[in-house]
A and B are shown apart, each in its own frame.
Chain A
């Protein structure tokens, strides 16, 4: 029953990447963590097909690929609703699906969110680099060529008998807004910003710039009353850091960001809200809300407990 199934990409889509939980532990050498940006949705997809929660999925951004399935497969789709279709007919999300050999999966208009996750039951057959299947950041994509989907790419998966179908109840499926409150903690240089700058930062609503990618979201608009210090000595960066360029433009770092930087960091997005942020598209608007560390830790704990209850992990 264990078969080698081939997924043939007739179209690559805008950006389709294999991602898992990332390559944690090499940041001292300048390697970005990477990994799926909407961790909750990606783990749900893996759970729905009986794969390891942190294992590889396909992260599909806005415009999806067209995929021909060589063998019967069990799949699941979570995250953004990019109008998935099987042989032209709409497909449900957030449940285990049986895909017969010879079927074609493609996508239509993006309706909600930015990134969809496709899980396929079985063992994915592609090389890891530094312990992860995740595609390396854009400029280093050549390091992980098989994790970056191109037209006519083949993704091989050693399938196994399907698990009994699973479903994520409606109330646990995330809804992604075009306008989103995102909770943040004060960043390491928060104290260097004037009261006026901070007041402005929390009252303004920032559109997400089209010059955004998996390294970071550039936000349109500037921080008022910002006077950059002459020199900030570079230090480590973590995803969720909101740094301010010398021109006053805020940039939220995401999973593919460089591991260090020398800009003032005004705030850090709390972990519980990173998936919501990562599902925002260029043009969507983000509003930052300050919280305390205990509040952030509580939100994170609740998220982990929900994952444990829902996905039994």
Chain B
């Protein structure tokens, strides 16, 4: 589903590649892969990332500096390609960059740089493997949506339309950060764009669903925060006591559906007891 978008943006990206980083490698890569279109994420999209030392234990791989589904898909594809490499101690995917932290007794910067470059072109199957899609229930009732009036005032939409728009879109998990399990989801329908609160709240309750700028997100724990709160999900994105504590990861796709307060409490209770059928997370709501 992302291919169309990639092709749409490709000519500009090719130009920027020519200008900013036309290396011998990326050029020959573009030529030799020309005939193998279907196996490559997008041949026409051979923007070669820039690699930089990031201290003496990390490599920063910078893709085109734009927040865009297709660019983020390449970040995740590179993350998957490098996952499990001996001597790489962690990978931090972000919107349009990947931080690769390595063990200095295994890798030198120069050797790792060569190794990372050899991952290109990124293979289509690596990208295809990322396609988890989740459906999360959100209660948008006033008790959980303290900023709905402000959002309505700012966007000129009524509450029902805001909920409708927020639920209609499919969001990509661009990255996690700020707090363990905090997901940056985008992009919102432009009609919902709203600035952050001028005065951040000192305590945002866990599981609050907020919007800010072009993004929406879920607070994994109670924390200070400045996003406009329009609802709450009974499904915690962060379960520290679970063996795999994180519900979502970069590259996942998420959409929301509205539930009543009663249903919210019911699901929250089920989740707490470990009785919520997890397959429901992957099924579109009725």
Distance A70 CA – B19 CA, assembled complex (angstroms): 69
Q: Is the CB of A271 within 8 A of B55?
A: yes
**Mask for B88-113, Cβ within 8 A of A = 1, else 0?**
01111111111101001100110000
**Mask for B176-218, Cβ within 8 A of A = 1, else 0?**
1111111010000000000000000000000000000000000
Q: Is the CB of B56 within 8 A of A236?
A: no
| Closest residue on chain A to residue B92 by CB atoms | A236
Q: Is the CB of B104 within 8 A of A236?
A: no
Q: With a CB–CB cut-off of 8 A, which chain B residues contact A260?
A: 92, 94, 175, 177-178
Q: Is the CB of B55 within 8 A of A30?
A: no
Q: Is the CB of B89 within 8 A of A25?
A: yes
Q: Say whether, besides A29-B176, A30-B181, A139-B223, A236 and B55 are in contact (CB < 8 Å).
A: no
B17 within 8 A of partner (CB):
no
Distance A268 CA – B53 CA, assembled complex (angstroms): 9
Q: How far is the CB of B157 from chain A (nearest CB, A)?
A: 26
| Closest residue on chain B to residue A25 by CB atoms | B90
Q: Is the CB of A235 within 8 A of B95?
A: yes
Q: Which of A198-206, A214-222, A295-303 is the contact stretch? A: A295-303
B46 within 8 A of partner (CB):
no
Q: Is the CB of B240 within 8 A of A236?
A: no
Distance A300 CA – B246 CA, assembled complex (angstroms): 34
With beta carbons under 8 angstroms apart, the residue of B60, B105, B180 that contacts A30 is B180
B221 within 8 A of partner (CB):
yes
Distance A140 CA – B98 CA, assembled complex (angstroms): 25
Q: Is the CB of B104 within 8 A of A297?
A: yes
With beta carbons under 8 angstroms apart, the residue of A27, A143, A188 that contacts B90 is A27
Which chain A residues numbered 186 to 212 have a C-beta less than 8 Å away from chain B? Answer: 187-188
With beta carbons under 8 angstroms apart, the residue of A27, A188, A258, A271 that contacts B52 is A188
Which chain A residues numbered 277 to 312 have a C-beta less than 8 Å away from chain B? Answer: 293, 296-297, 300-301, 304
* Contact size range, A: 35 or more
B6 within 8 A of partner (CB):
no
Q: How far is the CB of B175 from chain A (nearest CB, A)?
A: 7
Q: Is the CB of B96 within 8 A of A269?
A: no
B245 within 8 A of partner (CB):
yes
Q: With a CB–CB cut-off of 8 A, which chain B residues contact A236?
A: 58, 60, 92-94, 97-99
A179 within 8 A of partner (CB):
no
Q: Say whether, besides A29-B249, A236-B99, A271 and B178 are in contact (CB < 8 Å).
A: no
Q: Is the CB of A293 within 8 A of B56?
A: yes
**Mask for A26-52, Cβ within 8 A of B = 1, else 0?**
111111010000000000000000000
Distance A130 CA – B242 CA, assembled complex (angstroms): 10
B60, B92, B101, B184, most chain A CB atoms within 10 A: B92
With beta carbons under 8 angstroms apart, the residue of B90, B95, B109, B184 that contacts A24 is B90
Distance A92 CA – B249 CA, assembled complex (angstroms): 49
Distance A243 CA – B66 CA, assembled complex (angstroms): 21
Q: Is the CB of A233 within 8 A of B104?
A: no
With beta carbons under 8 angstroms apart, the residue of A29, A234, A304 that contacts B95 is A234
| Closest residue on chain B to residue A305 by CB atoms | B105
| Closest residue on chain B to residue A136 by CB atoms | B180
Q: Is the CB of B109 within 8 A of A235?
A: no
Q: Is the CB of B105 within 8 A of A28?
A: no
Q: How far is the CB of A258 from chain B (nearest CB, A)?
A: 6
Q: Say whether, besides A188-B60, A235-B60, A301-B104, A240 and B55 are in contact (CB < 8 Å).
A: yes
A29, A293, A296, A301, most chain B CB atoms within 10 A: A29
Distance A140 CA – B179 CA, assembled complex (angstroms): 9
A185 within 8 A of partner (CB):
yes
Q: With a CB–CB cut-off of 8 A, which chain A residues contact B181?
A: 29-30
Which chain A residues numbered 226 to 242 have a C-beta less than 8 Å away from chain B? Answer: 233-238, 240-241
Q: How far is the CB of B50 from chain A (nearest CB, A)?
A: 10
Q: With a CB–CB cut-off of 8 A, which chain B residues contact A258?
A: 177-178
Q: Is the CB of B101 within 8 A of A238?
A: yes
| Closest residue on chain B to residue A304 by CB atoms | B105
Q: How far is the CB of B95 from chain A (nearest CB, A)?
A: 5
Q: Is the CB of A233 within 8 A of B65?
A: yes
Which chain B residues numbered 159 to 184 have a C-beta less than 8 Å away from chain A? Answer: 175-182, 184
Q: Is the CB of A235 within 8 A of B58?
A: no
Q: Is the CB of B56 within 8 A of A235?
A: no
Q: With a CB–CB cut-off of 8 A, which chain A residues contact B175?
A: 234, 260
Q: How far is the CB of A229 from chain B (nearest CB, A)?
A: 10
Distance A28 CA – B88 CA, assembled complex (angstroms): 13
Distance A137 CA – B179 CA, assembled complex (angstroms): 10
B57 within 8 A of partner (CB):
yes
Q: With a CB–CB cut-off of 8 A, which chain A residues contact B184?
A: 234
Q: Is the CB of A300 within 8 A of B104?
A: yes
Q: Say whether, besides A130-B245, A234-B94, A30 and B182 are in contact (CB < 8 Å).
A: yes
Q: How far is the CB of A96 from chain B (nearest CB, A)?
A: 27
- A: residues with CB less than 8 A from B are 24-31, 33, 129-130, 139-140, 143, 185, 187-188, 233-238, 240-241, 258-260, 268-271, 293, 296-297, 300-301, 304
Nearest first, the 6 closest Cβ-Cβ pairs linking A and B are A236-B99, A236-B92, A260-B177, A268-B55, A235-B97, A296-B56
Q: List 8 A-B contacts (CB under 8 A).
A: A24-B101, A27-B99, A30-B182, A130-B245, A234-B95, A235-B92, A236-B92, A236-B99
